[in-house]
């Protein structure tokens, strides 16, 4: 058992090398071991590329025969952009397959392991399953609901303010905390803000990392009346990622047309009320294969996100500063709750120090129903 955990941890570390690069696919790592020696390893680098098992088999060559395969997710058994990994493993003559977790994709969901078992290959599942599920929390949410995994990021002073009374907010948190925030941008498919953030700050919403390897997220502006200026940075900067303007049906047609002429993709989100229906917007983004969204908006958009129940995880940065003042804004606006029993409870909390600041991360639910492993 200790050996299985050791090599599975190695596979998980390989999988994590592609963090933020495989959407809408999962991150997967694979390690081939024979006679106590690692003979092959690999990971899934990007959607459409070779799967981890295939990369590891190529790395191992003839040494794959009678080897044990450690893979972080159940091998696929269907044809997509690539062929089924179950067939590649059978052809290579591996002796044993150890999977961290079952694939929640309905096209697999236990069938891959059962196919291998029927072929006479010894199979085992559930080794470091918790770690594997955390690694692929985005994929699990997306593949089972067809909606993106939503992370809400906020940065506040110790007394819960996001700016001073006159609106000054740069910078509440430290350089280290801000760098970590850019790493989050690099990790998720899209970043979402409200139009007021664009009007007030004119942000770029890009991933700026010290080593210059950041992947810009798709920029999503929630803008019910299409007020985003066509000269704003979200539309004019040089970036590989595009900008989506999510409007309501009330947005003037001429404003929508001018935004499209400026290069934006304009989405008209159906729904009653004056604002953009965030629940409907998440459904539309899921249809576009956007599997994860990082919300970095101000108090209004954060309040709307919690009210709509779309937030899966929070990343809350706290700086050891006191701002004070009745007019200094907080991070979550809107009507709020009337009774404490209705408060959003954060679970599975982790705390990390970043410079002088702290980042509290946690989930808005207890993880939901556990995906069952197949009967083996």
3-state secondary structure 55-97: HHHHHHHHHHCCCEEEECCCCCCCCCCCCCHHHHHHHHCCCEE
Q: What is the DSSP letter of 272?
A: S
Contact call for residues 302 and 292 (beta carbons, < 8 A): no
The DSSP code sequence of 302-353 is HHHHHHHT---EEEEEEES-----TTS--S--SS--SSGGGS---EEEEEEE
Contacts of 295 by beta carbon, 8 Å cutoff, 6+ apart: 150, 151, 152, 153, 191, 192, 193, 301, 302, 305, 311
For this structure, is 53 an active site residue? Answer: yes
Pairing outcome for strands 313-319 and 357-363: antiparallel
Active-site residue, selected from the candidate residues 13, 53, 211, 249: 53
Contact call for residues 127 and 8 (beta carbons, < 8 A): yes
Contacts of 145 by beta carbon, 8 Å cutoff, 6+ apart: 286
| Residues identified as active-site | 53
């Amino acid at each position: 058992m200790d050996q299985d955990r050791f090599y599975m941890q190695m596979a998980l570390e390989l999988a994590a090398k592609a963090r933020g690069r495989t959407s809408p696919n999962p991150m997967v790592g694979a390690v081939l071991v024979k006679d106590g020696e690692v003979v092959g390893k690999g990971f899934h680098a990007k959607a459409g590329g070779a799967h981890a098992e295939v990369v590891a088999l190529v790395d191992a060559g003839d040494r794959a025969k009678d080897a044990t395969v450690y893979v972080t997710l159940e091998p696929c058994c269907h044809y997509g952009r690539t062929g089924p990994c179950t067939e590649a493993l059978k052809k290579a003559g591996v002796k044993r397959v150890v999977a961290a977790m079952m694939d929640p994709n309905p096209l697999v969901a236990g069938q891959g392991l059962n196919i291998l078992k029927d072929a006479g290959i010894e199979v085992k599942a559930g080794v470091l399953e918790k770690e594997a599920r955390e690694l692929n929390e985005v994929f699990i949410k997306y593949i089972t609901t067809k909606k993106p995994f939503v992370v809400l990021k906020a940065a506040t002073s110790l007394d819960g303010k996001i700016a001073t009374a006159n609106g000054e907010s740069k910078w509440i948190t430290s350089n280290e905390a801000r760098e970590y925030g850019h790493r989050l941008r690099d990790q998720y498919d899209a970043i979402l803000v409200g139009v007021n953030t664009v009007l007030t700050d004119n942000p770029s919403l890009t991933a700026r990392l010290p080593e210059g390897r950041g992947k810009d997220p798709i920029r999503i502006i929630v803008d019910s009346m299409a007020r985003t200026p066509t000269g704003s940075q979200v539309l004019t900067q040089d970036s590989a990622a595009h900008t989506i303007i999510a409007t309501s049906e009330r947005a003037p047609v001429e404003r929508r047309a001018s935004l499209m002429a400026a290069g934006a993709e304009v989405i008209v989100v159906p729904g009653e009320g004056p604002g953009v229906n965030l629940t409907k917007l998440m459904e539309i983004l899921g249809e576009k294969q956007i599997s994860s969204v990082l919300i970095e908006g101000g108090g209004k958009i954060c309040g709307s996100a919690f009210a709509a129940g779309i937030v899966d995880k929070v990343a809350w940065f706290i700086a050891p500063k006191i701002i004070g003042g009745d007019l200094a804004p907080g991070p979550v606006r809107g009507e709020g709750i009337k009774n404490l029993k209705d408060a959003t409870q954060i679970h599975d909390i982790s705390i990390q120090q970043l410079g002088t600041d702290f980042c509290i991360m946690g989930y808005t639910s207890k993880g939901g129903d556990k995906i069952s492993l197949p009967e083996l």
